[in-house]
Structure 1
Amino acid sequence: MGKIKIIGTASRDVPYDMMQVTIKFHSWDKSVTNAVNKTDTLCDDFLNVLLENNFDISKIHMGDIEINQKKVSNDSAGEPLRLSVSTNKSIIIPTPFNMNCLNFLKDTVKDMGADANLSVNYYYSNTSDIDNALIEEAIADSRKKAEIAAKAMGQHIIGISEATINKSNNRYSDDNKSYDLCDIFACLSSDSPTNQLTANTSKLSASVEVDWIIE
């Protein structure tokens, strides 16, 4: 009776099923009060559009709020120091991947003519089932390799002594959370051909180092 250590691997390209849309509103002014009011109005106007379209904004998260002040002047023109204020206010929208929804949010910002940045991060709602399947496939791959090695030595596998599982780190998962924000957007967004696009994929993988018992 002996042991052989065999590493098995498995991988697959999995499409993202969630997206996190971050919208950051900006304003600039000489007055702190005016700058803050402008940013607040932009954010409020955007949220009011969503409310008018039956969007449940209670599922939207408040992001960063920034107020930056500095004194500036144009020395060449002999301009005295004056206050320059910039403000930022962000909201974060986690929702299932849906191009109609994304286009609607983007078009709303555009139609408002708002000073704003829009960014999107894609991720998985739950990777547990995928991980379990990859681990099973990796163990099967290890066993197949072990059987070939054991056969070459005139032996066969009788069990497992020890196994170490490794999963890839190229994943962000928001396990066990469910968002239903996009059901209404199919009839609201424009007829852009991008509505037909699908989510990008990421390669998920697992490896298993198994000590097989042979005799």
Structure 2
Amino acid sequence: MQKKVGLYFGTFNPIHMGHLAIANHMVEFSDLDEVWMVVTPHNPHKKKSTLLADHHRLEMVYRATEAYDNIKPSNIEFGLPQPNYTVNTLAHLEEKYPDYQFALIMGEDNLNTLHKWKNNEVILERFEVFVYPRVTSTTIKEEFKNHPKITKVDAPIMEISSTFVRNAVKEGKRITPLLPQKVWEYIDEMNFYKS
């Protein structure tokens, strides 16, 4: 039987309990066998001073997920040409793992921009999309409401953002409950986000 893998893309700068709660919910309450946390590499054409180096963000995802058998870190995009598009990553994964069935995981807010993605019609034709709720005022576009490839998963709404975490660390706030313990230790040890 084909293993069904949900791809949860993000910069994970840093990964926090909200990301883990969503990934875990997808594994436990959908027909996905695994969730891969796909760390998006730094786009060399964009200057993003707050974005940690790729290997540091991957290390945090590794530390955050090592206690979960069905949630795995992925650096699959690190070796792909930049700027990269999701459709290319999916093609690369299908080639590399022909026995796996891949699906996308995204927030409601991202679903509303899906029509702007490169080759979005190919993605929707060939891959399932699992959507989790976000606190947002936007309503889902009509074309996506009853789409056969789109499944809305009633995951808990998490109002934690990586930006909030970074700012709180910079201000010296104690935010350990928002982060996996090993991620907090790594941030602290490496002095990330302090300045």
TM bucket normalised to smaller = under 0.3
The structure richer in strand per residue is 1
Give the TM-score taking structure 2 as reference length. Answer: 0.24
